[in-house]
Amino acid sequence: MAFWDKIKGEFIDVIEWVDDSGNSLVWKFPRYGNEIKNGAQLTVRESQVAVFMHEGELGDIYLPGRHELTTNNMPVLTTLKSWKYAFNSPFKCDIFFVSTKQFTDLKWGTKNPIMMRDAEFGPVRLRAFGTYCIQVGDPGKFIRQISGTDTHFETEEITGQIRNILVSRFADAVAESGIPVLDLAANYNELGDFLQKKLQPEIEEYGLNLTKFLVENISLPDEVEKALDKRTQMGVIGNLNAYTQFQTAEAIEKMAENPGSGGSAMGMIAGMGMGNLMGGTMQGAAQQGQAASGGPPPLNRGQQPQWYAAINDQQAGPFTEAQLQELIQQGQITQESLVWKQGMADWATAGSLPELSAIFTMMPPPIPKGK
């Protein structure tokens, strides 16, 4: 077979590469003994370049087009090899075709969660994944640094290294961007552009260009996302009492439309009634806290009016009218003391209220001094 390969090579003078794989970066043109006939025709298609190597040294780089391989148009090769003959005999040279098209939809992602500090949530763990695109920018550097003498170099042989670089730099880039965790989803484009510019100088060391960097998803641990979902639900519901009343009204309407489902509907209403009870309890606790902080006192639904009074500049009460009368008799409440009950818009002096003025008229006037 070696003999026939040599004979067949003597008649082949067209050098080209047609790639159907879609993932080939470098392909070496196969010739018996690496002999290239003087005057051979080199066809370089768009999205390709041809790189010549002679005795291990990088030679000429041919751009897309049709080229006749003679020593007149191979200046670098002529410099590397001092030709002393008429150049009619074949010369030995390695020819590598390098694809310069963009390789798209290459995946990257974090194998393990990345720990980082967020201004709102503190320490959090993030997972992220997306895609990126690369393109050979310097064919000579790529062959020297990466592919070497590999006769068929594919993207899978370099994407693992690039993915490790992207992931290892991701956490630093996110921290430097200053974007809060909850705002990352709204800034995927900005974050991708920021990372592309940050990572490009390091990728260029391999003779490659990082033409696109896309962030598709950044996620928090499941338990954190569930807590955020609960927080969102509470924000959507808003007023718990109003929401429960609405649900109760809906259940009653459905029960009226479907008499046969009364049992389940009543159970639903009972559950909502418990929700109302809990909502009322929480609301009452909130109102008590508000009263303790100096706001209006909570609503009292008793039959007798409940009075509040300012005694020694402190809110006291509630008091029944009889208890209020005793305080007046004891002198703890005077006509200038501030009092309040349900239905009043604001605090008022006790002597200005008709229902209390009668109590003050029943009291004897103070003893004049010196009598």
Could you report the per-residue pLDDT of 145-191, keeping only the tens digit for each?
898 889 999 999 999 999 988 888 887 777 777 778 778 878 888 88
Could you report the per-residue pLDDT of 260-286, keeping only the tens digit for each?
655 554 555 455 554 554 445 445 544
What Å distances lie between residue 241 and 233, 281, 309, CA to CA? 15, 11, 31
Q: Is the per-residue pLDDT at 289 higher than 80?
A: no
| Whether 139 and 187 share a structural domain | yes
What's the pLDDT band for 194 if we cut at 50, 70, 90? confident
Residue 120 belongs to a domain: yes
Q: DSSP H helical segments within 73-187, as ranges?
A: 75-80, 139-142, 156-177
3 state DSSP class of 22: coil
Domain-ending residue, one of 169, 191, 222? 222
Q: DSSP H helical segments within the chain, as ranges?
A: 2-11, 75-80, 139-142, 156-177, 188-204, 222-237, 240-257, 262-292, 321-329, 354-362
Could you report the per-residue pLDDT of 91-123, keeping only the tens digit for each?
677 889 999 999 999 999 888 888 877 777 778
Q: Is the per-residue pLDDT at 361 higher than 80?
A: no
Strands 40-44 and 14-15: parallel
**Residues of the chain with pLDDT > 90: what percent?**
20
Average pLDDT over residues 4-20: 65
What's the pLDDT band for 327 if we cut at 50, 70, 90? confident
Report pLDDT for 72.
57
Which is higher by pLDDT, 85 or 204? 204
Report pLDDT for 208.
95
Residue 228 belongs to a domain: no
Q: Is the per-residue pLDDT at 25 higher than 90?
A: yes
Residue 354 belongs to a domain: yes
Range of the domain at 319: 307-362
Tally of structural domains, the chain? 4
Rounded mean pLDDT of the chain? 75
What's the pLDDT band for 240 if we cut at 50, 70, 90? low
Report pLDDT for 294.
52
Residue 130 belongs to a domain: yes
Q: What sign for the dihedral angle of Cα 278, 282, 284, 285?
A: positive
Report pLDDT for 251.
76
Could you report the per-residue pLDDT of 210-239, keeping only the tens digit for each?
999 999 988 887 777 777 777 666 666 656
Report pLDDT for 351.
77
Greatest mean pLDDT among 55-69, 184-198, 202-216, 343-357: 202-216
Average pLDDT over residues 326-347: 82
Domain-ending residue, one of 222, 250, 265? 222
Residue 227 belongs to a domain: no
Q: Give the whole-angstrom CA distance, residue 112 versus residue 61.
A: 42
| Whether 79 and 144 share a structural domain | no
Which is higher by pLDDT, 369 or 213? 213
Residue 273 belongs to a domain: yes
**Residues of the chain with pLDDT > 70: what percent?**
69
Which is higher by pLDDT, 84 or 294? 294
Could you report the per-residue pLDDT of 36-77, keeping only the tens digit for each?
777 788 899 999 999 988 777 887 889 999 988 775 555 444
| Whether 62 and 128 share a structural domain | no
| Whether 109 and 217 share a structural domain | yes
Report pLDDT for 366.
60
Residue 6's beta-bridge partner residues?
none
Residue 269 belongs to a domain: yes
Query: Which amino acid would we find at residue 210?
Result: L
| Whether 30 and 85 share a structural domain | yes
Q: Whole-prediction pTM value?
A: 0.55
Report pLDDT for 78.
45
Q: Can you give the CATH number for the domain in which 148 is found? A: 3.30.479.30
For the chain, give me the number of helices (H) and strands (E)?
Answer: 10, 18
| Whether 208 and 246 share a structural domain | no
What Å distances lie between residue 137 and 60, 266, 283, CA to CA? 16, 73, 67
